[in-house]
Amino acid sequence: MGKITNDTFLRAAKGEKTDHVPVWYMRQAGRSQPEYRKLKEKYSLFEITHQPELCAYVTRLPVENYNVDAAILYKDIMTPLPALGVNVEIVGGVGPVIDNPVRTVSDVDKLGELHPEKDIDYVLETIKILTEEQLTVPLIGFGGAPFTLASYMVEGGPSKNYHKTKAFMYSEPKAWALLMDKLADMTVAYLKAQINAGASAVQLFDSWVGALSRADYCAYIKPVMEKIFTELKNENVPLIMHGVGASHLALEWNDLPLDVVGLDWRLPIADARKMGITKAVQGNLDPAVLISSWDVIERKAKEIIDEGIQKPGYIFNLGHGVFPDVNPDTLKKLTAFVHEYSAEKLKQ
């Protein structure tokens, strides 16, 4: 074990032809799995991630249960922030809560640096266990992108409108630039460490960047994303970008030195390619469809696959993450359907 025998995901991410469309699901590790729910009765998210053997078990479960073509490391985008001096707690039913929000230049100045081998050694150990001993599919590492991390750090927790974050960005441009630079350096160090430990690809989640206009993205965010992906490009692994409600930014992502543009359900793949997306694409079934009847799921999946396979470089995924109400058997059945249907279509 520990040797990749199914590299379909990696080939698709590089824009190469594949015999079938590869599948993985955001938040496939955890959430709806009964084995995971049982663990959560005893352990918190952070407690699971701090135990490499246990975390490796949660990470590989969907590979074993669903037959997906890639694993994604089980952890939270908040994982590296405590090393910077951010006091974060995952509160059930709420999400990440930060009791020392960043609101001033002084707050930004106080932020420390991430030293992966010391600060997140448990993450790196989990990756090594998975890639050296357990997985036969690629492992995807990931991190939160600077805007999304900043939104939690400034707001002090989840937000529906990001008013404080955007006000800080507009009114304190120098402090914002410094915050972006610090988060960029942390992100590069974090993802490089995951790659060096054995991750075969990495994804940046900019979950809430859709709250920005395209003009503001280009002015306040895109330069830092350019810096991150340029530095990561030398690692020679597929680089994936994903956000939610950010279809208006897809062309900006396509312009970055990355390999795969993640799409949510708001932008059909055919439309994305017509508007100029030239890179490999990933997506984009609405997760809500997963609790519909099977005939609806199958019809929606067919539509997406038919659009995706018009050009090499397509990875089937959701437009956002699996949620707790989804039946694990549905994900298993959907994975098999995507494999079989796409294989038949690609033969034609």
Spell out the residues 6+ positions from residue 292 whose beta carbon is closer than 8 angstroms to its own.
none
| Statement: residue 1 has pLDDT above 80 | no
Instruction: Identify whether the C-beta of residue 342 lies closer than 8 Å to the C-beta of residue 306.
Output: no
| Average pLDDT, integer, range 318-325 | 95
**Does 155 score more than 90 pLDDT?**
yes
Residue 127, amino acid: I
Looking at residues 201-209, what average pLDDT do you find? Answer: 97
pLDDT score, position 92: 78
> Where residue 15 falls among pLDDT bands split at 50, 70, 90?
very high
Alpha helices in 157-244 (DSSP H): 163-171, 173-197, 214-216, 222-233
- Comparing 176 with 348, the larger pLDDT belongs to 176
Task: Write down the pLDDT at residue 17.
Answer: 96
DSSP result, 106-173:
HHHHH-----HHHHSHHHHHHHHHIIIII-SS-EEEEEE-HHHHHHHHHHSS--SS-HHHHHHHHH-H
Please give the average per-residue pLDDT across 259-275, as a whole number. 98
Q: Could you identify the residue written with the tokens 């404080």?
A: 164
Is there a contact between 231 and 250 (Cβ–Cβ < 8 Å)? Answer: no
Would you state the pLDDT for residue 115?
98
pLDDT greater than 90 at residue 111: yes
Tell me the per-residue pLDDT of 21-55, one tens digit each, with 9 for 90 and over: 999 999 999 888 999 999 999 999 899 999 999 99
pLDDT reported for residue 70:
98
Sequence-separated (6 or more) residues with CB below 8 Å from residue 341: 301, 302, 305
The CATH fold assigned to 8-347 is TIM Barrel (3.20.20)
Within 10 angstroms of residue 245's Cβ, the number of other Cβ atoms is 15
d(CA 337, CA 101): 45
Mean pLDDT of 184-197: 98
Q: Could you give the maximum distance between any two Cα atoms of the chain, in Å?
A: 62
Query: What was the pLDDT predicted at 95?
Result: 85
pLDDT in tens, 275-316: 999 999 999 999 999 999 999 999 999 999 999 999 999 999
**Nearest Cα to Cα of residue 187 among 216, 146, 241:** 146
Which of 59-63, 74-78, 88-92, 232-236 is predicted with the least confidence, judged by mean pLDDT?
88-92
* Feature table: binding site: 27-31, 46, 76, 152, 207, 320
d(CA 331, CA 296): 14
Single pTM value for the model? 0.96
Residue numbers belonging to the annotated binding site for substrate: 27-31, 46, 76, 152, 207, 320
